[in-house]
Amino acid sequence: MPVTILVGTQWGDEGKGKVTDVLADEAQLIARYNGGDNAGHTLAVQEQTYKLHFIPSGILRPGVMSLMGGGMVIHPERLLNEMESLRRQGIEVTPQRLKLATNAHIITPAHQLLEQAQEKARGRAKLDTTGRGIGPAYASKIAREGIRAAAMRDPDAFGTAIYQAIAQTNRVLNLIYQDEPLDADAVARYYHNVASELAPYLVDSWALVHAMLREGGHVLAEGGQATLLDVDHGNYPYVTSSNPVAGGALVGLGFGPRVVDRVIGVAKAFCTRVGAGPFPTQVEGEMAERMRGDGSQAWDDFGTTTGRPRRMGWLDLVALRYAVAVNGLTELALTKLDVLSRFADIPVAVAYEIDGERTDAYPVDMARFARATPIYETLPGWEVDIMGVTRYADLPAAARRYVEWIEAQLEVPLTLVSVGPGREQTLLRG
């Protein structure tokens, strides 16, 4: 069966883009199913580094079509900027290669302003979002007040809809947050002009996906963010506003479960988190700095979208077992194993202690999760550089032990190990 779903298993930034890029050879269509430009992939291909936010990484592969699915939210101006920047790097970005689902929703400048006002009002309880207007755009969608991408086919009507949306948010900004209003006229004029630029990329995503499948094609469905940031399954309210879990692919692109044959989870060999919310295995100080890197390398753990230093922690098998279950993972890819070369001992959380009791079941209740203290097992490190290793069998014995122990703990095949940002630094197993 021809659909593979690729999901993040932790709090995002697991390196899904890199795994997608490796799998892209087998796919005719790569489709993002949720989120917007809160996501960010940094991809190193030969000498070039590409930064992607809305556009699936299939765009870097000639012969592969990329789709931004109906579960996504799109900011037209920022999408056009991303398209332009790829073109400047020599990538062909045309309506033949890139598609935008008609039922994706539009992020307006008002959504972004509203989010800023909301975050300010939350004070110390702020969610620490990426500030892209993602939450308010999904709120408009669920409230049935959103604007779908299809509206761009009629620039006049689109401009009017944008004007009305801005005017409405202006009232909220003024009445509730006492904030300055946006110039609805200017925004509407700009969006009117932008509409005709994006209209040629529009497609009904269900029809594209099913046409591909009928012809025997292979579709790779790629999630933005990750399981623990899922609005239903993550650490609510410290989540994003969409469904990064595998189920989100079905809703976000428009196909049923029977066409899916592989669900690949991507996990870092440790954990990171950006933004607020509980993080049981978090480490601080020198240990965190060593794990994160100093920012001199593009793949050090600083946010691709916001540049924020990521919070760092040890691998958490309680959370990973949960990700295996809620996504129905058929396999796992482990990234950034090279980072652990910096440590003599490697603790891994195998269970939590909550209110004096040991549990290995992930608590969905955020208040309980916030009280979880990890129970660790410590594995020996290998302390040699593994970034030049090109075959799994050539890894140091302690590194292989780490991988195989995780596989045994999770009871899911661990089929890919990444030891660096390059395409060639990807070790396939079995």
Which residues would be at the binding site for ligand IMP (CB under 6 A)? 11-13, 38-40, 127-130, 132, 134-135, 224-225, 229, 238, 240-241, 274-275
Nearer to ligand IMP, 11 or 302 (CB): 11
Query: Which amino acid, residue 20?
Result: T
| Helix (H) / strand (E) containing 377 | strand 373-380
Q: From residue 350, give the alpha-carbon distance in Å to each of 2, 201, 227, 312, 375.
A: 34, 47, 18, 17, 6
Nearer to ligand IMP, 192 or 268 (CB): 268
| Helix (H) / strand (E) containing 30 | strand 29-32
What single DSSP character describes residue 124?
G
- 302 CB-contact burial (10 Å; exposed 0-12 / middle 13-18 / buried 19+): buried
Cβ atoms of 68 and 99 closer than 8 Å:
yes
CB nearest ligand IMP: which residue? 275
Min dist. Cβ of residue 275 to ligand IMP (A): 2
Q: The tokens of 249 are what? A: 């692919």
| Helix (H) / strand (E) containing 41 | strand 41-45
Q: Is 218 annotated as catalytic?
A: no
Nearer to ligand IMP, 73 or 149 (CB): 73
Comparing C-alpha atoms, which of 132, 17, 21, 155 is closest to residue 72? Answer: 132
Q: From residue 91, give the alpha-carbon distance in Å to each of 32, 84, 207, 278.
A: 19, 9, 26, 40
Among 21, 25, 37, 41, the one annotated catalytic: 41
Q: The tokens of 154 are what? A: 């009629």
Buried (b) or exposed (e) across 160-173, using 16+ Cβ within 10 A? ebbbebbeebbebb
Nearer to ligand IMP, 188 or 323 (CB): 323
Min dist. Cβ of residue 369 to ligand IMP (A): 15
Q: Is 41 annotated as catalytic?
A: yes
Min dist. Cβ of residue 135 to ligand IMP (A): 5
Min dist. Cβ of residue 72 to ligand IMP (A): 12
Nearer to ligand IMP, 23 or 228 (CB): 228
Nearer to ligand IMP, 76 or 135 (CB): 135
Cis-peptide, bond into residue 181, ω within 30° of zero: no
Min dist. Cβ of residue 24 to ligand IMP (A): 20
Min dist. Cβ of residue 40 to ligand IMP (A): 6
Nearer to ligand IMP, 66 or 118 (CB): 118
Min dist. Cβ of residue 223 to ligand IMP (A): 10
Q: Which residues contact 199 (CB under 8 A, 6 or more apart)?
A: 152, 153, 155
Comparing C-alpha atoms, which of 150, 112, 161 is closest to residue 132? Answer: 112
Cβ atoms of 411 and 400 closer than 8 Å:
no
Q: The tokens of 70 are what? A: 């109906």
The residues annotated as belonging to the active site are 13, 41
